Chains A and B, each alone.
Chain A
Amino acid sequence: MKKYGLTLLIFVVLHVQEVCGNTIEVCQTCPLKSIKEGIALASDYDTLLVKKGTYKEFNIIIDKPLTLKGENYPVIDGEKKGEIIRITSDGVTVDGLFLINVGVSYTTDYAALRVVKSENFVIQNLVLEKLFFGIYLEKSNNGKVYHNKIIGDAKDEYNSGNGIQLWYSHNVSVDRNIVQGTRDGIYLEFSDNVTINNNSSTNNLRYGLHFMFSNHDVYTNNIFENNGAGVAVMFSKHIKMLDNTFRKNWGTAAYGILLKEINDGEISGNIFEENTVGINIEGSNRITYSNNDFIQNGWAVKVLGACYANEFKNNNFLNNSFDISYNSKLNDNVFDKNYWSDYTGYDLDKDGIGDVPYRPVKLFSYIVNRTPETIVLLRSLFMDIIDFSEKVSPVFTPDKLLDANPRMKRTQ
């Protein structure tokens, strides 16, 4: 039996060597029973076809340009011993695997799949469960992370990892992934020109999406829901955030988007619904906010610290507890042609633009900033009276902060 197997193996190996890009099968009844053996035997550009079954392996290193393809989602069980797959070669494709039981360590960031200093990789159709870190790209450019499903069960921040992490990785496309129950759903650090489209990042412990020091990135059409703190974009430039949905990020430090030290970005066509804070802006300049819908958030936009030359145009502010909150009296931002559901002015010339400017900052939001407990007085008659008097003659709120052309109807 063993002898027979060996001859077959030799045959396969010879066969592979003869034709470039051959297929090698791995399965429980095949001559090749483990993926590691398969990789060891495979030549460049071969396809390693892993059949259905459970493979208890970890620290699988793909060090040549291979296609590792699963058939009917074979399970690779790392048994919590460490990293499962590491790619160290350019041109690797990993497709259709079920990776489970990544090791948890406080010193090493074990990932289900790690790409190290490699280019032109494709990681697709993976399912990841019981993980520490999910897909970890380290100094790896020009790749694609497509249609993966990452389901974590993170409970505490200190012993959980991120779903998809990019570190010094440029020109990567992250598309159509589902990430939930991890620490940060998608995390980018020092990664430029990344496009993040059509992903769903929900129920993560900290951020659904987290940018640090990453520039010229675009994210479009993603859904971020019920994450511990929403989406954080920090210390980055030229980020475009388009047509995303941010929903139900509830909590004391929960935001649709947290912008910190962001310059020259564009935030457009997004929906912010039922977040504690829709957008929290700190030290961010020259950003255009247009055509966004802010629906029933606690604070639609909260501006902290110095933020200059931002423009809010053609947005819809619908039934938020507070539309805009400022913690200073200074204002260098422009609000124009937005629709505010709280607007009570009139439009005599029927041009669709209210004839009286709208002041989006209420005195009450100023009071709540100062004494947060006063939030229990939200919508009380006394507060309405006070807000009205402040509206008539602003004392505490920036008097130049107004939308001179408030729309009468919401922009579609």
Chain B
Amino acid sequence: MLKILKYSFYDLVRSRWSYAYFLFYLGLGFVLLFLNNDVSKAIITLMNVIIVLVPLIGTIFGIMYYYNSKEFTELLLAQPIKRSSIFLGQYLGVAGSLTLSLVFGLGIPFLLYGLLRSDAIFDFSLLLVTGAFLTFIFTALSFNMGLSNENKIKGFGYAVLLWLFLAVIYDGLFLMSLIVFEEYPLDTFSIVATTLNPIDLSRILILLKLDISALLGYTGAVFKTFFGTQQGFFISIFMLILWTVLPIWRLIVKSKKKDF
């Protein structure tokens, strides 16, 4: 697996898209910090970027790489290599190179800005960790879409649709159901609904740091224990890990059964 990872990774590191991604984050980091000089505001803007853009880029990159490396995959399948190693290696190559672009792209400007000496270091690391999780989750989801759809256009469409659903539509439906059923106690529902969407989950994880004062304004006891104690943080992290592991697991299972 490590060899496949190595080749996929080198392949991607050499591609201009990784550079574009890296430079985008580098530029964003510099603009936010040096034109603005407000770390808190920069982190809020970054949060918006991370919970929307990172999943989208993970999705598009993942699905593109999956279809583009079809020949490579077929070549490898005839070699004495475990199937799961082939797909896991490629997946980790994509997700890993994207994560590196993100971490370095944002990390360098923040380091230059002197973040290590600022209080925001924890918020910032949390942002990066969440971004990394989202990259891994959405790349895995898009690989799943690729495995299930031979047709490139279909697979691409479904993957982007999935992103659109999780990033926007899900929250719309969520909001509507909250308003429709507002007479009922909804705090358990809303926490569960949040954890069922990795984007919402990441958002809540960051909100726990950024907007804790607002989150504690609500009366429900479930909210109180979730947001007011460490519990919320650990549940969110646990769910994010689950969200990462499940698509990878399906990727392995599905790849074992697929014909090429």
Q: Which residues of A contact B (CB under 8 A)?
A: 248, 250-252, 254, 274-277, 296-299, 318-319, 321-322, 341, 367, 370-385
**B253 touches A (CB below 8 Å):** no
Q: Which residues of A contact B179 (CB under 8 A)?
A: 367, 370-371, 374
B34 interfacial by beta-carbon distance below 8 Å: no
Chain B residues contacting A250 (CB-CB under 8 Å) are: 212-213, 216
Contact A322 B214 (CB under 8 A): yes
Contacts of B172 in A (CB 8 A): 382
* In contact, B178 and A371 (Cβ under 8 angstroms): yes
Docked Cα-Cα span, A151 to B189, in Å, equals: 42
A380 near B171 (CB under 8 angstroms)?
yes
Q: Are A252 and B219 in contact (CB under 8 A)?
A: yes
Q: List 22 A-B contacts (CB under 8 A).
A: A252-B216, A252-B217, A252-B218, A276-B214, A298-B215, A318-B40, A318-B41, A319-B40, A367-B179, A372-B217, A373-B182, A375-B215, A376-B191, A376-B204, A376-B215, A377-B174, A377-B175, A379-B211, A380-B171, A381-B168, A382-B168, A382-B171
Contact, CB under 8 Å: A378 / B214? yes
Known contacts A319-B41, A373-B187, A373-B220: A381-B213 contact under CB 8 Å: no
Residues of A near B223 (CB, < 8 A) are 373
List 8 tightest A-B contacts by C-beta distance, closest first.
A298-B214, A321-B214, A382-B171, A298-B213, A373-B186, A371-B182, A321-B211, A276-B217
B contact residues around A373 at 8 Å (CB): 178, 182, 186-187, 189-190, 218, 220, 223
Q: Which residue in chain A gives the minimum CB-CB distance to B171?
A: A382
| B200/A380 in contact, CB under 8 A | yes
Check if A379 sits within 8 Å of B47, measured CB to CB: yes
Q: Cα distance A276–B223 when bound, in Å?
A: 14
Give the residues in chain A near B203, CB-CB below 8 Å: 378-380
Q: Residues of B with Cβ closer than 8 Å to A?
A: 38, 40-41, 44, 47-48, 51-52, 167-169, 171-172, 174-175, 178-179, 182, 186-187, 189-191, 193-194, 199-200, 203-204, 207, 210-220, 223-224
Complex: A288 Cα to B168 Cα, angstroms: 41
A62 to chain B, nearest CB (A): 45
Tell me how far the C-beta of B192 lies from the nearest C-beta in chain A, rounded to whole angstroms. Answer: 10
Residues of B within 8 A of A372 (CB): 217-220
Q: Is the CB of A367 within 8 A of B168?
A: no
Q: Do B211 and A298 touch across chains, with their CB atoms under 8 A apart?
A: yes
Shortest Cβ distance from B186 into A: residue: A373
Contact of A275 with B178 at beta-carbon distance under 8 Å, contacts A252-B218, A379-B48 already known:
no
Among B38, B167, B212, B213, chain A packs the most CB atoms within 10 A around the CB of: B213
Tell me whether B40 and A296 are in contact (CB under 8 A). yes
Least CB distance, B206 to chain A, in whole angstroms: 8
Asked whether A381 lies within 8 Å of B171 as measured between CB atoms, the reply is yes
A contact residues around B213 at 8 Å (CB):
248, 250, 274-276, 296-298, 321
Contact B44 A319 (CB under 8 A): yes
Interface centre among B52, B182, B214 (most CB of A within 10 A): B214
Which residues on the A side are within 8 Å of B47 (C-beta)? 379
**B171 with A375: CB separation less than 8 A:** no
Tell me the nearest residue of chain A to B218, going by C-beta.
A372
A251, B186: Cα distance in complex, Å? 19
Complex CA–CA separation, A375 to B190 (angstroms): 9
- Please name all residues of chain A whose beta carbon is closer than 8 Å to the beta carbon of B171 when the two chains form the complex: 377, 380-383
Contact of B51 among A275, A298, A321, A381 (CB under 8 A): A381
Question: How many angstroms from the CA of A380 to the CA of B202 in the assembled complex?
Answer: 10
Residues of A contacting B189 in the complex (Cβ-Cβ under 8 angstroms): 373
Asked if B211 contacts A376 (CB within 8 A), the reply is no
**Closest CB of chain A to B232's CB: distance in Å?**
11
A383 to chain B, nearest CB (A): 7
Shortest CB-to-CB span from A275 to chain B, Å, is 6
In the complex, how many angstroms separate the beta carbon of B242 from the nearest chain A beta carbon?
19
How near does chain B come to A359, taking the closest CB pair, in angstroms? 18
Taking a contact as CB atoms closer than 8 A, the residue among B41, B204, B219 that contacts A341 in the complex is B41
Does B41 contact A378, Cβ atoms closer than 8 Å?
no
**What's the Cα separation between A275 and B212 when bound, in Å?**
9
Residues of A within 8 A of B216 (CB): 250-252, 254, 276, 298
Chain A residues with CB under 8 Å of B167's CB are: 381
Known: A367-B175, A373-B186. A378 touches B215 (CB 8 A): yes
The residues of A that contact B220 with a CB separation of less than 8 Å are: 372-373
Question: What is the CB-to-nearest-CB distance from B201 to chain A, in angstroms, rounded to a whole number?
Answer: 10
**Minimum CB distance partner of B173 in chain A:** A382
Check B52 against A299 for contact (C-beta < 8 Å): no
Cα distance A148–B38 in the bound complex, in angstroms = 39
Distance of B42 from chain A, by nearest CB (Å): 10
B175 to chain A, nearest CB (A): 6
Chain A residue nearest to B191 (CB atoms) is A376
Q: How far is the CA of A216 from the CA of B142 in the complex (A)?
A: 66
Query: Which B residue's beta carbon lies closest to that of A248?
Result: B213
Chain A neighbourhood of B187, CB < 8 A: 373
Which A residues touch B210, using CB under 8 A? 296
Residue of B nearest to A410 (CB): B38
Residues of A within 8 A of B175 (CB): 367, 374, 377, 382-383
How far apart are the CA atoms of A372 and B172 in the complex, in Å? 16
Quick one: closest A residue to B179, CB to CB? A371
A381 to B168, CA, bound (A): 6
Bound: A248/B218 CA distance, A? 16
**Contacts beyond the supplied A252-B217, A321-B211, A379-B211: 19 A-B pairs with Cβ under 8 Å:** A248-B213, A254-B217, A296-B40, A296-B213, A298-B216, A298-B217, A299-B217, A318-B40, A321-B213, A367-B175, A371-B182, A372-B220, A376-B194, A376-B204, A377-B174, A377-B175, A379-B44, A380-B200, A385-B168
